[in-house]
Structure 1
Amino acid sequence: MRFLHAADIHLDSPLRGLSAYPDAPAAQLRGATRAAFRQLIGTAIDERVDFVVIAGDLYDGDWPDFNTGLFFCAEMGRLQRAGIAAYVLYGNHDAESHMTRALRLPDNVFRFSAQACQTHVIEPLKVALHGRSFKVRDTTENLVRGYAEPLRGYFNIGVLHTALQGGYGEHAAYAPCTLEELHAKGYDYWALGHVHEYRLWQGPSTVCFPGNLQGRSIRETGPRGAVLVTVDDVGHPPRVERLVGDVLRWEHLAVDVSACTTLEAVGLATGRQLAGLLQADAQVPRALRVTLQGTSPLHGELFQREAELRAHVLAEMAALGPERLWLEKVRLATRPLQGSDAGPADGAGRTLGTDALAELATLLAEARQDEALLAELRNDIGQMLAKAPPELLAELPALRQAHAGELGPVFDAVVPSLLARLAREG
């Protein structure tokens, strides 16, 4: 017996953070979650699985119109024509209280009740599926305690949308429980959802988060998909095979630009690494955050010429295939050259020759030790960052450190850029 376990589909959820620029495939980006789900259903049919389990967050909240539900009905119709059943549990994003729209689903779709644990039995396969959907979005009770006892002589599957206590993902603590509680329940397999990273535990029970089907932002990097579970005999651990099914993959690309002395050289170095990334798996388009790092004589100039720098990166992507590489962001994480022998330098690494700039560089270096100034900066920056969204602090390490009172990274970022700009403007 084989079944496919997926979770966190988030149908029609927008992909967030991709830069808008000419030739960016907007329509393809908008349809990524649908394309990934359509591909998943195709895999279930091709593999001739016995049934499909969806462990929560099929939707991404209430539908703006009925098109999302119509699409799901159509895909379930494909399964029905292939003789495959689907067992669907609702999670926090599609809780009863959160969804106001509904359509009649094909007869091959079985939903888990939100009132109490419900057991669906597949008698010919000797399979029992136990699960309870979310009634309200903020479900913080331990649902496992109300799950039914395993049926003797059956392969028992627990379907659960949970944060799973123990730091297995940065997700809201809905339906918390422990790994030990899951093992103690006596089920053969736990089909979990909610945590978007793939996780697998073997033990008295096999416990699995398949991860989300399609990454939706730079916070969800790397391959995404579902799992194929094969059961050879009741009482024996199942075999779990990860199925990669994303249609767009988010990646971080770190480029060392220590040896680069011009923006053109930075572009070439980035292009070489982009080409290497595509060689690993050219079939899956990438949405990339490019981070430039290293100790560079261009440190200040990179900050001052960010728009031009971004254009160089986009040019390299266009040459390799704009349909395969899309830009999320160019992030600067370089460091200035250190050492008194280098002297104050402009963005191109040239030593600043004027007395005024040299004196300014000295004053800025001394400012790092001025406790009165640092206290004033901490107060001003603290007030500003108190109003900043958490996402901003998460994206920018220098701001996180400044928020904690560490101003060194701020000086490292600002001083070379300031000196470079003043040197160019005379």
Structure 2
Amino acid sequence: MKFIHAADIHLDSPLTGLSAYPDAPVEMLRTATRRAFTNLCDEAIDQKVDFLLIAGDLYDGSWKDFNTGIFFCKQMGRLKKVNIPVYILYGNHDAENEMTKTLQLPDNVFTFEARKCTTHLIPHLKVALHGRSFKDAATTENLVTSYPTPTDGMYNIGVLHTALEGNSAHPNYAPCTVGELHAKGYDYWALGHVHEYSVISGAATIVFPGNLQGRHVKESGPRGAVLVTVDGHGDCVLERLIVDVIRWHTLIVDVSSCVVLADVVRTVGLQLEALVATSPAHIPSAVRISINGRTAVHGELFGLARQLRTEILALAAATDPDSLWIEKVQINTSDLDHNENLSLRGDAVADLQTILDQAENDPEFVDALKADLMALITKAPIELQTSVSYFKEIRAGDVSRILAEVRPALVAYLAKAE
């Protein structure tokens, strides 16, 4: 038999972080999760699977647009026409969604109860599906203890939405251990909630398929579901089904060897070209660029961060205007150690270096700087309040980072300008 195990679909969840690219196609971004789910149903039909299994978070929180539910029912209707049943377990996002309580589902769709564990039998396949949906979004009890013993003569699949052993990237809902899952005696555990693909082998095969579509830069790389093929001996083979329609990337660019801003732009351009060359042509890329390294151009970057960002946006538009978008440009460089060379100069730049070195340990200067900066940020326009990373620290009375970063950048910039 064959079945598809999917989870964390988050239908109509918005993709975030592309506001930096004003020309990004809004409609393509808005419908990404729908198109990924349509691709999943296409795969189910093409693969002629025996059933589709969704291990939680079909919907996205308290989203109340019933067009989302209508879209889902339409896709279920496609599967009904080819006799593919669908089994849905509700996760933490589904528990707070109105559609899970009021939407009438097609008769090829079966759900797992929340009050107790439900077992769905598929006699002709000799399959038993055991699962318990979330009643409340913040379900922190161990649900595994309520799952029954394996059904004799059946291929037993446990369906569970869980953080497992406290996955740090996700709320610790329905926590349990890998040992508890293996001890249950099931053949396969179809998990959801953790958005990264992972497989744990042992007495049972334990799988997180990951989410169908990355929604922000922290969900980068290929996304999809898992096709599970089980032979007559109960042994299974896993195959990832990649169905995402927009892919997130983090591009780390080392500019250690760069001397001027133009070198940085050329280096970024080469890496963008390489990314486009190695990415599937039909999947657009949303990219966060991190400029890293100890470099002679550090001072220039500090003074020209906005110009660099503009030039990178122009590069992306020239490289692939239809499917390459820049989510953010981050500058994480540091200066080369020129302190000794500067001290030998005996000029105003060397004097400035000495003054700035001493400033960090001068309480009177630091207090005066805090007062001046607070006066500045209270008058700053709203767009700066959210875009300048230093502001939050300054409000908290911490100017250590701005001193540490401005000092070498300012000295390097003035030395270069001279």
Taking structure 1 as the reference length, what is the TM-score of the superposition? 0.86
Rate the CA distance shift 1:311–1:169 in 2: closer, same or farther, 3 A. same
- Do the aligned partners of 1:335 and 1:412 also contact (CA within 8 Å) in 2? no
Cα distance, 1:152 vs structure 2: 0.7
Q: 1:312 corresponds to which letter in structure 2? A: E
Cα distance, 1:412 vs structure 2: 4.0
Instruction: State the Cα deviation string for residues 328-360 of structure 1 (Å, max 9, x = none).
Output: 10000111121334428xxxxxx99962x4322
Cα distance, 1:287 vs structure 2: 0.8
Quote the RMSD (CA, aligned, Å).
Answer: 3.3
2:287 maps to 288
- Do the aligned partners of 1:63 and 1:101 also contact (CA within 8 Å) in 2? no
Instruction: State the Cα deviation string for residues 34-70 of structure 1 (Å, max 9, x = none).
Output: 1111111111111111100000000001333211001
- Is 1:7 the counterpart of 2:7 in the alignment? yes
Rate the CA distance shift 1:45–1:295 in 2: closer, same or farther, 3 A. same
Rate the CA distance shift 1:217–1:353 in 2: closer, same or farther, 3 A. farther
1:348 maps to none
- Do the aligned partners of 1:253 and 1:288 also contact (CA within 8 Å) in 2? yes
- Do the aligned partners of 1:23 and 1:322 also contact (CA within 8 Å) in 2? no
Cα distance, 1:182 vs structure 2: 0.4
1:238 maps to 236
Which of 243, 253, 256 matches 1:255?
253
1:416 maps to 408
- Do the aligned partners of 2:150 and 2:186 also contact (CA within 8 Å) in 1? yes
Cα distance, 1:375 vs structure 2: 9.7
* Equivalent position SS for 1:343: helix
5 Å-filtered alignment, 1:67-82, equals 67-82=67-82
Q: 1:416 corresponds to which letter in structure 2? A: P
- Do the aligned partners of 1:119 and 1:128 also contact (CA within 8 Å) in 2? yes
2: CA distance, partners of 1:265 / 1:304: 16
Instruction: State the Cα deviation string for residues 223-253 of structure 1 (Å, max 9, x = none).
Output: 111101010025x331111222211111110
1:279 maps to 277
Cα distance, 1:168 vs structure 2: 3.8
5 Å-filtered alignment, 1:8-407, equals 8-95=8-95, 102-165=102-165, 167-234=166-233, 236-283=234-281, 284-343=283-342, 355=348, 357-370=349-362, 407=400
2:381 maps to none
Cα distance, 1:172 vs structure 2: 0.5
Cα distance, 1:221 vs structure 2: 1.4
Cα distance, 1:316 vs structure 2: 1.3
* Equivalent position SS for 1:187: coil
2: CA distance, partners of 1:158 / 1:377: 60
Cα distance, 1:103 vs structure 2: 1.8
Cα distance, 1:417 vs structure 2: 3.6
Q: Alignment identity in percent?
A: 54
2: CA distance, partners of 1:233 / 1:157: 15
- Do the aligned partners of 1:7 and 1:55 also contact (CA within 8 Å) in 2? yes
Rate the CA distance shift 1:97–1:262 in 2: closer, same or farther, 3 A. closer
Deviates more, 1:410-419 or 1:255-264: 410-419
- Do the aligned partners of 1:352 and 1:423 also contact (CA within 8 Å) in 2? no
2: CA distance, partners of 1:28 / 1:97: 24
1: CA distance, partners of 2:96 / 2:254: 49
Taking structure 2 as the reference length, what is the TM-score of the superposition? 0.88
* Equivalent position SS for 1:141: coil
2: CA distance, partners of 1:285 / 1:97: 30
Q: 2:256 corresponds to which letter in structure 1? A: S
- Do the aligned partners of 2:21 and 2:327 also contact (CA within 8 Å) in 1? no
| Consecutive unaligned residues in structure 2, runs of 5 or more | 378-384
1:388 maps to none
